[in-house]
Structure 1
Amino acid sequence: MRDEIPESTRAAWEGLPEELAEKLIQLRRLVLDVASDNPAIGPLEEMLKWGEPAFLTSASGSGTTVRINRHNKSADQYAFYIHCQTDLIERYKQLYDDRLNFDGSRAVVFDVKDGLPVGAVSHCIAMALTYHLRKPR
């Protein structure tokens, strides 16, 4: 079942403040929803990478890995991370610099006190999970 959180993810988020954990669960659901809404992405493989929940397009090879976790070990911020050698963060900035916050070339950062901008974040996640479909081979 898609909403069943794997034990490895639960363990990675163990001990986080409840508000932060709820935001990460919401972001996880969004990643899974984006993937399920796009047949080109196919099923995601959910695992831990660097101790963080990660979503891979192993079946289709359509995109780059998306990781989600708290940001900089903060109780007030969380993020989704992508491979820093992609051009995705620059593309996100062109589209959503007025709505999203970024950290370098690898993270889109959110504050737990703010609502998640679902439309913009869904689009960014979709761009990551289909990155290899647009990239010349």
Structure 2
Amino acid sequence: MSDMAEISDPAVAAVYDCFPSEVRAPLLHLRGLILDVAAATPEVGPIVETLKWGQPAYRAHKTKTGTTLRLGQPKGGGFALFAHCQTSVIGDFRALFPDDFAYDGNRAVLFRDRADMDDDKLRLLILASLTYHLRHTK
């Protein structure tokens, strides 16, 4: 897994460095899942890692492929995987796994700690986001 893949953008690395350690490690794990899913999905191609709203953000380099995922800390504590709220990414995932995760409407999957994460299920969410436009524009 790509948990420790180098972060090439110093601004993104600085944001990770500012997260408390109990949040940083699982967020880096989620980052690794995103990079792994992208690497295993040829139609996604390379990932752009940048900041959006001060949070690490991930999208396919190719346009009209997917929608951006962000990683960060919600106001209520813990950490979260955010998707664009005007897409169906979170809603579709919630329909599949209504009781497996905590949600913040159509915008995020929320976690208290690493034990809340199910990598296999989260890979489905990541794939759905990274290929969103490929699946919704045909």
TM-score (norm 1): 0.89
Distance in 1 between the 2:7 and 2:117 partners? 20
1-structure distance, mates of 2:33, 2:137: 27
> Partner of 2:58 in structure 1?
55
In structure 2, give the amino acid aligned to 1:27: L
Cα distance in structure 1, aligned partners of 2:39 and 2:68: 16
Whole-angstrom CA distance in 2 between matches of 1:88 and 1:136: 14
In the alignment, what sits opposite 1:81?
82
Instruction: Kindly state the Cα deviation for residue 51 of structure 1 after the two structures are TM-superposed.
Output: 0.6
TM-score under structure 2 normalisation? 0.89
Within 5 Å, give how 1:14-25 maps onto structure 2. Answer: 14-25=17-28
Instruction: Report if the CA contact (8 A) 1:43-1:57 is conserved.
Output: yes
Aligned to 2:99: 98
Alignment-mate amino acid for residue 10 of structure 1: A
Gaps of 5+ in 2: none
1:38 aligns with 2:41: yes
2:70 & 2:126 partners in 1: Cα distance? 10
Q: Give the drift of 1:60.
A: 4.8
% identical aligned pairs: 36
Q: How many residues align?
A: 134
Q: Structure 1, unaligned stretches of length 5 or more? A: none
| 1:27-49 Cα deviation digits (max 9, x unpaired) | 10011001001001110111001
Which is worse superposed, 22-31 or 58-67? 58-67
1:104, 1:91 → 2: CA distance? 11
2:11 matched to which residue of 1?
Answer: 8
1:43-87 deviation line (CA, Å, top 9, x unaligned) = 01110011100012132531000111122262xx11111111111
Two-structure CA RMSD over aligned residues (Å) = 1.6
CA drift at 1:15: 3.2
Matched letter for residue 120 of structure 2: G
After TM superposition, the runs of 4+ consecutive aligned structure 1 residues lying more than 3 A away are none
